[in-house]
Structure 1
Amino acid sequence: MDKSLEKQLAKWLRDQQGACGAYLKFSMCLGVFNGALLVAQAWLLATVLHGVIIDAAPKAQFGYHVVGLALLIALRAAVAFVRERVSFEAGKRLRTEVRAAVLNKLDRLGPAFISGKPAGAWASIVLEQVEDLHDFYARYLPQMSLAGFIPLIILCCAFPLNWMAGLILLITAPLIPLFMILVGMGAADANRRNFSALQQLSGHFMDRLKALSTLKLFNRAAAEEQAIAKASEEFRERTMAVLRLAFLSSAVLEFFAAVSIAVLAVYFGFSYLGELNFGHYGVPISLFTGMFILIMAPEFYQPLRDLGSHYHAKAQAIGAAEALMELLNAPEPLANGAQPLPVGDITIRAHNLKVLSMDGVQLAGPLSFTIAPQQKVALVGPSGAGKTSLLNVLLGFLPYEGELTVNGVALRELDIAAWRTQLGWLGQSPQLFYGSIADNLRMGNEQLSDEQLWHCLAQAHVADFVRAQPEGLAHQIGEFSAGLSVGQAQRLSLARTLAKQAPLLLLDEPSASLDSQNEQWVLAALQQALSDKACLMITHRLDQLASMDQVWVLADGAIVQQGTVAQLSEQEGVFQRMLQELPLQASLDDDELTSAGGIQ
């Protein structure tokens, strides 16, 4: 990984620690307090051993010392438990806030951005990658402070007793973080590659799971099973590479900590044998001094060893932060608008409008048009002409250049949430959520009564289906509209759109993938609902255009023709060629054109 990028990611991670609240600092304070208790525990133990072994004092003299030692052990255990709980709470708060920020960001970016990755990839970011931030805040950051404070406390206690012992501790201490850094240099890259493989595997698996019935139908299940097995094996190999780094780091740290403690023990051993006579301040080294420093020596290196064992948490967090930071810093299509929508009927005007992708690539334009109140406009044209992009920019899901105004106010200046309350959207793929029919129709608008819901269901020709369910409006819809046919799901989506009572409807081929009966019901409901509303509808069915006031023909991102059905059918151009390419059963009949004021 590029060092500048790694620094940016590390800075981003530290910038998020405010989400942990006071719990992170409290965890650090508890750790330092536990270190101070450790020093007191070592002092009591060394005092008792020196008094009993060297001074031959009666054991009863140390009753209070033993009681104090037992209390210190119990207190240290309690502090360690509380610190663990506090650290977990810090990580939990961080994960909750980051996950909420990710979901809110995805909500603001909209489906045009989300469709750029498979659903499994987004699930990996929201679930696994956010979870992998936990140990960085719950363990690594608190341990960094302890790795500085506790060795300093022990050095302050060791140097006044024996400067050589303090010097040994001071010299050997940097070996552990040095080798920790050397071993962990590749850990961030390994984790980043691991997350990339996990995203691909998640996206691949989720997409194939949703299309399982289709794969079986075309006898492709075995081939996809092999592809998933191959992707799983690649992910396993990357995961094992990360684990090898983690175990190697721990082994190296344990080795150098053991060597350092051994050097200290050898120094005191030879000093007691009389072979070494330096390090003290003119006073022979007592058993208290040796025992006190040797008891504290493992705890001197323990925070550094713990930091090393948690170092992979930093590498893991940096690997996860790359995708999270990229997502949270992604530019939003309409992020700065706050102006309320002017009252009155909605009039939309565009002049030299260019619709852009999230990457700044032009998808359609320049476009100039006007949608008047209650005007019905149909968008037709070949696939890839920019029809859906135009709907997405009106919904606020894509950025744009040029002029696009609603009642004279630029769309980018409007409060986008307030603007969307004025829009009703219906696409070709029903999007119903797990919950009751009533919940799906209300979509959080609890002001809608059951009577109003039944009216919308009747308009959408789906009331009979709902009444046939034992629970009626409380009937539960499963994930991915489980338990419903495509026609039923589409008509329930239509009922939800009608329940919104929006003055402008944006329709993306609402009758696609429906059988003839469901198509008739949906079109009849729409024709009734559009009597007092404006509408912009994408369709490939030219036999659905008779009720439209205007037809706009898009080709290569531009409006190449516009007018009534009758006018366009007589003009040479894209629309006439589309009519000629229609099969006989789907072509416009004379009665439809006559009703539109066309061929006589």
Structure 2
Amino acid sequence: MDKTVEKKLTKWLKLQKKACGFYLNLSVFFGVLTGLSLMCQAWLIATVLQGIIIDELPKSDFIDHFWALLLLTIVRGGLAFARERASFQAGARLRMQMREAVLDKLALLGPAFIKGKPAGSWASIVLEQVEDLQDFYARYLPQVVLAGFIPLIILVAVFPINWAAGLILLATAPLIPMFMILVGMGAADANRKNFSALARLSGHFMDRLKGLSTLKLFNQGEKEARVIRKASEEFRERTMAVLRMAFLSSAVLEFFAAVSIAVLAVYFGFSYLHHLDFGHYGVSISLFTGLFVLILAPEFYQPLRDMGTHYHAKAQAIGAAEELMALLDHPSEQHGGDKKISGAVEIEAKDLTVYSLDGCLLLGPVSFKVKADEHVAIVGPSGAGKTSLLNALLGFLPYKGQLKIAGTELSELALDGWRKHLAWLGQEPQLFHGTIRDNIAMGRSLSDEAIYKLLAQAQILDFVQQQPQGLDYPIGEQTSGLSVGQSQRIALARALAQQAQLFILDEPTASLDSLSEQAVQSTLTQAMQGKACVMVTHRLENLSAMDKVLVIDKGTIVQQGRYEQLVSEPGTFKQMLEEASSVSEFDIGSAELKGDK
């Protein structure tokens, strides 16, 4: 990974640590107290052994020392537990806030942006990549501070009693951070590639799982299984590369720490044999001095070794942060206005152009009007820009030109307030894992009577009343347990609960059989009386009831008017109608042939 990019990601990660609250500082505080308690234990042990072995004092003189050692052991255990709890809470608060920020950003960017990636990739970001930030905030960041504090405190305690031992500690300490930096150069890049492979695998697997029936019907199951096997193998290899680096670096860090302690032990050994005579300020080196320094020596390197161990948490977090930062910093077409809609909802577009989130032109320029009680149909070939127009109206895509709602520019309106005036129904309604009551109320305080009334309007009440659970009938993931028609009518009941002034419909009956289509269409007709409607549809034969039809082709409005007017004049609409009639005649002919057989 480029060093500039790595520094940028590291800086971004550190800026997020305020989400950890005071728990991060609390973890450091408990770590410092643990270090101080350890130094006190080292002093007590060295004092006891000096007194008993060298000074030949009775053991009874050290009863208080033994009780103090026992007490410090208990205190250290309590401090270690408190530090772990504080560290975990710091990471947990960060993860919770990060997931909230990701979900808020995705809601702000809207479905047009989300559809640019497979669902599995988003799941990887929200779950695995946010989860992998835990150790960076819970362990690495506190350990960086402790790796500076604890060795410094130990040096302050060692130098006054033996400057040579202090110099050995001071000289050998940089070996561990230096090696950490060398390893870290490749670790962050390895983790980044590992996350990319995981996101690809998750997205690929989820997409193929959703389309399993199609793959089976086209005899492509074995081929896709080989593709998933190859992606899994790539992910395995990258994971093993990261683990190899982690194990190698841990082993080398332990080696350097062991060598440094051995140098210190050799110095004291030769000093006791009178082969070395320096470092003791003119006073002979006592057993207390050697024991005190040698007990502290492993603890001097331990914070640095722990930081080396947790340095992989930094590399892991940098790998995860790349996509998180790109998502959270992605520019969004957020309407900054705070104006509210006053009066009836009317739409006026003039020289309107709609763009994708990356700046590509999708539609326009177009000009049209929708009155407060007018029903307008939008038709055209696939890819003409119909759905892009709806996404612009919903506030999901950026636009230029003029798009006024009740006389106020859409960019000046508060989106939440604008969407409260809308009822949306698409061809593939999203019902959530929960009950029928949950899916209709959507967090609003609706009584059971009100929900039953909405179900009756949507002509789905009979189905609900037939279920033993009633409104508590469970809806599984991907609307399991319901037919397409039942799902659509429950979604219709949810849309009716909005009490909207404008209905925005995107192929609301495209996936329904003729009976379900008639039921949904009848309910919509009744619900939309006196209210505005903008509907995208391919069903041209039912447009005679619409007040106006807009025909879009190649991003522009090529025709507009009433159904009767468009049928009588040559153009795109008449051509589409003729093609639809030809398809219908072919279907009827096929059905008759099947009947003859």
What TM-score do the two structures reach when normalised by structure 2? 0.96
- Check if 1:510 corresponds to 2:508: yes
Residue matched to 1:313? 313
Instruction: Give per-residue Cα distances to partners, 1:436-480, cap 9 Å, x unaligned.
Output: 21221111221x333332232222221211121112222111111
Residue matched to 1:107? 107
Paired letter, 1:413: E
Instruction: Give per-residue Cα distances to partners, 1:96-124, cap 9 Å, x unaligned.
Output: 11111111111121111111111111111
Q: Tell me if structure 1 keeps the 8 A contact 2:335–2:414.
A: no
Structure 1 Cα separation of the partners of residues 430 and 548 of structure 2: 28
Structure 2 Cα separation of the partners of residues 205 and 585 of structure 1: 36
Structure 1 Cα separation of the partners of residues 310 and 372 of structure 2: 62
Residue matched to 1:433? 432
Residue matched to 1:416? 415
Residue matched to 1:404? 403
Structure 1 Cα separation of the partners of residues 275 and 504 of structure 2: 92
Structure 2 Cα separation of the partners of residues 445 and 337 of structure 1: 25
Residue matched to 2:289? 289
Question: What SS does the corresponding residue of 1:279 show, helix, strand or coil?
Answer: coil
Q: Tell me if structure 2 keeps the 8 A contact 1:197–1:235.
A: yes
Question: What SS does the corresponding residue of 1:582 show, helix, strand or coil?
Answer: helix
Residue matched to 2:226? 226
Residue matched to 1:177? 177
Query: Over aligned residue pairs, what C-alpha RMSD do you find?
Result: 1.2
Q: Tell me if structure 1 keeps the 8 A contact 2:351–2:365.
A: yes
Residue matched to 1:257? 257
Instruction: Give per-residue Cα distances to partners, 1:171-226, cap 9 Å, x unaligned.
Output: 00000000111012111111111111111111111112222233223332222222
What are the equivalent positions in structure 2 for 1:300-379 lying under 5 Å apart? 300-341=300-341, 343-379=342-378
Paired letter, 1:423: L
Instruction: Quote the offset at 1:125 in angstroms.
Output: 0.6
Paired letter, 2:383: G
Structure 2 Cα separation of the partners of residues 429 and 560 of structure 1: 28
Residue matched to 1:598? none
Question: What SS does the corresponding residue of 2:545 show, helix, strand or coil?
Answer: coil
Structure 2 Cα separation of the partners of residues 83 and 314 of structure 1: 19
Structure 1 Cα separation of the partners of residues 539 and 98 of structure 2: 45
Instruction: Quote the offset at 1:303 in angstroms.
Output: 0.2
Mark the CA change 1:72 to 1:178 in structure 2 (over 3 Å): closer, same or farther. Answer: same
Residue matched to 1:79? 79
Identity level (%): 64
Question: What SS does the corresponding residue of 2:528 show, helix, strand or coil?
Answer: helix
Question: What SS does the corresponding residue of 1:262 show, helix, strand or coil?
Answer: helix
Instruction: Quote the offset at 1:586 in angstroms.
Output: 4.1
Residue matched to 2:126? 126
Structure 1 Cα separation of the partners of residues 76 and 444 of structure 2: 53
Paired letter, 1:270: F
Paired letter, 1:394: L
Instruction: Give per-residue Cα distances to partners, 1:262-320, cap 9 Å, x unaligned.
Output: 11111111111111111110111111111110110000000000000000000000111
Instruction: Quote the offset at 1:584 in angstroms.
Output: 4.2
Question: What SS does the corresponding residue of 2:260 show, helix, strand or coil?
Answer: helix
Structure 1 Cα separation of the partners of residues 477 and 577 of structure 2: 40
Q: Tell me if structure 1 keeps the 8 A contact 2:335–2:413.
A: no
- Check if 1:52 corresponds to 2:52: yes
Instruction: Quote the offset at 1:555 in angstroms.
Output: 0.8
Structure 2 Cα separation of the partners of residues 244 and 584 of structure 1: 64
Q: Tell me if structure 2 keeps the 8 A contact 1:507–1:536.
A: yes
Structure 1 gap segments, 5+ residues each: 588-600
Question: What SS does the corresponding residue of 1:276 show, helix, strand or coil?
Answer: coil
Instruction: Give per-residue Cα distances to partners, 1:11-40, cap 9 Å, x unaligned.
Output: 111111111111100100110111111111
Residue matched to 1:597? none
Instruction: Quote the offset at 1:540 in angstroms.
Output: 0.8
Instruction: Quote the offset at 1:335 in angstroms.
Output: 4.0
What TM-score do the two structures reach when normalised by structure 1? 0.96
Question: What SS does the corresponding residue of 1:531 show, helix, strand or coil?
Answer: coil
Q: Alignment length, in residue pairs? A: 585
Residue matched to 2:391? 392
Q: Tell me if structure 1 keeps the 8 A contact 2:544–2:564.
A: no
Question: What SS does the corresponding residue of 1:484 show, helix, strand or coil?
Answer: coil
**Bigger mean CA deviation after superposition, 42-51 or 491-500:** 491-500
Residue matched to 1:206? 206
Q: Tell me if structure 2 keeps the 8 A contact 1:132–1:317.
A: yes
Structure 1 Cα separation of the partners of residues 510 and 574 of structure 2: 22
Q: Indicate which of 576, 580, 589 corresponds to 2:578.
A: 580
Q: Tell me if structure 1 keeps the 8 A contact 2:458–2:492.
A: yes
Residue matched to 1:269? 269
Residue matched to 1:595? none
Q: Tell me if structure 2 keeps the 8 A contact 1:184–1:245.
A: no
Mark the CA change 1:183 to 1:467 in structure 2 (over 3 Å): closer, same or farther. Answer: same
Paired letter, 1:475: Y
Question: What SS does the corresponding residue of 1:185 show, helix, strand or coil?
Answer: helix
Q: Tell me if structure 1 keeps the 8 A contact 2:354–2:399.
A: yes
- Check if 1:67 corresponds to 2:64: no
